[in-house]
Amino acid sequence: MSQEFNITTSFGKAHAWSSKEKGAFTDLEVQEGLCEETYLAALLSFWLCIFVLPSEDLNVILLGTFKVASLIAIDRPFSLAIPVLTNLY
């Protein structure tokens, strides 16, 4: 039985930043054009610390993950194989 999947799904336009969200970027002095990239890097840092490189304290985001997350956020290739394997041992 063969199935075909349409992978050209459109997610629509993203919502505008709320004043509270925009205020966080203003407080951190993030340049106007870098808000989405900064948001994505923060989300990826969180994801890396929780699911890919977990530590004993789940309430900690490791500083080193921001560099990796920033590279991933700007679509630069980064292999997670070595950090993941290192974390296993």
Return the pLDDT at 11. 57
Residue 47 lies in a domain: yes
From the DSSP assignment, how many helices (H) and strands (E) are in the chain? 4, 0
Amino acid identity for residue 22 in this structure: K
Q: Which residue has the higher pLDDT, 63 or 9?
A: 63
Domain tally, the chain: 1
User: Ranked by mean pLDDT, which of 32-46, 52-66, 74-88 comes out on top?
Assistant: 32-46
Q: Which range (4-8, 50-54, 70-74) has the least confidence?
A: 4-8
Q: What whole-number distance in Å separates Cα of residue 13 and Cα of residue 63?
A: 32
Residue 72 lies in a domain: yes
Average per-residue pLDDT in the chain? 81
Domain limits at 40?
Answer: 19-26+33-88
